[in-house]
Amino acid sequence: MDIDSEKCLLDQGIICLGPATRGGCEARCITTNYPCRGCFGPAPKIIDMGAKMISVLGSIIDEKDETKMEQIVDEIPDIAGTLYEFTAGKSVLLRRKK
């Protein structure tokens, strides 16, 4: 596919962690055409990067039917690995009971 470098990658169907991440890497998604994986960690006040991204994706997936929603989500392989690529160590996902 051709990438429009003027348009948000999420709008083009490419999973990008830009909305939830801290900037400063000098490699912002639309200037590089490379979808962000959040290596600088979550933006301030975000406790869990993957959870935040689920809410981001939820707001852009334009589908009301639950079965179809599941189908759309199933199209994304390794969603946990992708949404937590650099933040799994601090995520709620890995939190252990004390």
Partner 1 sequence: MTNNYKSVVIDPITRLEGHGKIHIFLDDAGNVANAYFQVPELRGFETFCEGRLVEEMPRITTRICGVCPGAHHMASSKALDNVFNVDPPEPAKKLRELYYSAHMVHSHIAHFYALGGPDFVVGPSAPPGKRNILGVVEAVGVDIGTEVIKHRSYAQQIQAMIAANAVLPCAGVPGGMLKPISEEERAQIEEWAKSTVEFSKFTIKIFNDVVLGNEDNKALVLDPGYYMKSYYMGLVDSNNHVNFYDGQIRVVDLEGKEFAKFDTDNYLDHIEEQPLPYSYLKAVYLKNVGWKGLTEGQDSGIYRVAPLARLNAADGMATPLANEEYKKMMEVLGKPAHHTLANHWARVIEQLYASEHLLELVQDPQITSTDIRAEPNEPDEGVGVVEAPRGTLIHHYKTDKKGVLLKDGVNLIVATAHNNAPICISIKKAAQQFVKGPEVQEGMLNMVEMAFRAYDPCFACATHSLPGQMPLEVIIRDVKNNIVWRKSQNIG
**Distance between CA 7 and CA 90 in Å, rounded?**
31
The footprint of partner 1 on this chain (CB under 8 A) covers a number of residues equal to: 16
**Beta-bridge partners for 21:** 42
Contacts to partner 1 from residues 5-24, by CB under 8 A:
5
Indicate which single residue of 6, 26, 62, 65 sits in contact with partner 1 (rule: CB under 8 A).
26
Residue with tokens 């990067």: 49
Contacts to partner 1 from residues 38-97, by CB under 8 A:
39, 77-78, 81-82, 85
Among candidate residues 59, 71, 66, 76, the one with its CA nearest the CA of residue 8: 59
State yes or no: residue 30 binds partner 1 (CB under 8 A): no
